Amino acid sequence: MDGQTAKRVTMTDVGRMAGVSQVTVSRALSDPSKVSPDTLRKIREAIEATGFVPNAIAGALASNRSRLVTALVPSITNIVYSSFIRSFSERLRDAGYQLLLSETGFDPEEEQALITAHLSRRPDAMLLTGIHHSAQSRRQLLGAGIPVVEVWDMTDTPIDLCVGFSHAGAAQRVADFVLEAGYPQAATVTAADERAGRRRQAFAKRFEAETGVPVPEAGVDGAASIAAGRAALTALIEREGFARGPIFCSSDQLAHGVLIEARSRGLRVPGDVAVIGFGDQDFARDLDPALTTVRVDRDRLGQVAADAVLARLDGGPPPDPVTDLGFEIIRRASF
């Protein structure tokens, strides 16, 4: 603007255009029922004409509510997390809350830094992915005195609320599923994620206890991907000599890579190797062969988590502190 700073539109400006006082504009924004329909219409027309944006922070200071809920997820591109965040956000938005989202990248130190940053925004509630947090983070969250919901995992001692499922229980059930099919050996492909590691450990422990046969593992550094899945099967074959039996992957993306690499090597699926994923992502049923996987109802997870937070915020009947959503093995042509 010719080297000058543009003047911010204020409630006083809106009031002048609408022919009312600044106090009336403030009242219309905070509680429209206290303003006549005709006055409210004039104020809304003035707001639209001027481009005025209400100061949410000022409103929060007055009401002690920011109408802001924050959330931390390991990855915003992974549909496993983005799908439950979508349903969580939709439920909150319908109740008049906005969501502030950040990505931790599976890094505990980054999570702690983001928890501190988010709490400085004075949110009304917070969603965390997982149940393992630093001692400092737990102290900060407990000291904040706000609803906190931990999702995608289970614990008997949540910070406040917990909505998820047992990762160890899911992996043990997959091991039983493999054993019931009569396979004498199995392998795993596991991403560098604490929850994936727990699933790997629980699967191997159950399978080895029943068969006495060690379960080889191909670990994956960094994020799960098709390329990582292909490299993992290569490692199992060339390093471990594994070329027959089921492979339990910590994500559908890794399983997809295993399927591609198996086909490129002329291995039959499930004749030579059977493949099991985790997450039941949208593409799983459309692969060739269709992917056997573990399904968790992610949409319901987000909805239940949001309902638990809203029950806390609205002061209604207290929600259950722990909600177990369970899981389901979806058998398809890859097994």
CATH number of 101's domain: 3.40.50.2300
Residues 173 and 286 in one domain: yes
Q: At what angle do helices 56-63 and 22-30 cross, to 10 degrees?
A: 70
* 133 and 151, same domain (yes or no): yes
Domain hosting residue 289, numbered range: 167-295
Same domain for 259 and 185? Answer: yes
d(CA 203, CA 229): 18
Specify if 59 maps to a domain.
no
DSSP conformational letter for 283: T
pLDDT tops 90 at residue 10: no
- For 150, the enclosing helix (H) or strand (E) is strand 148-151
* Exposed/middle/buried for residue 58 (C-beta within 10 Å: 0-12, 13-18, 19+): exposed
Residue 64 pLDDT exceeds 70: no
Residues 74 and 34 reside in one and the same domain: no
Quick check: is 177 in a domain? Answer: yes
Using the structure block, give the residue that is written with the tokens 């990762």: 167
Q: Looking at residue 19, what is its pLDDT?
A: 94
Considering the domain architecture, whether residues 161 and 307 belong to the same structural domain is answered as yes
Does 318 lie in the same domain as 230? Answer: no
Q: Could you tell me if 174 and 221 lie in one domain?
A: yes
pLDDT band at 66 (very low <50, low <70, confident <90, very high): confident
**pLDDT for residue 252 is more than 90:** yes
Average pLDDT, the chain: 92
- The predicted model gives 3-29 an average pLDDT of 81
- What's the CA gap between 246 and 248, in Å, rounded? 7
Domain assignment present for residue 5? The answer is no
- Nearest Cα to 278, choosing from 188, 213, 210, 205? 188
Query: Same domain, yes or no, for 171 and 158?
Result: no
Instruction: Please identify which residue in the block is written with the tokens 């924004």.
Output: 29
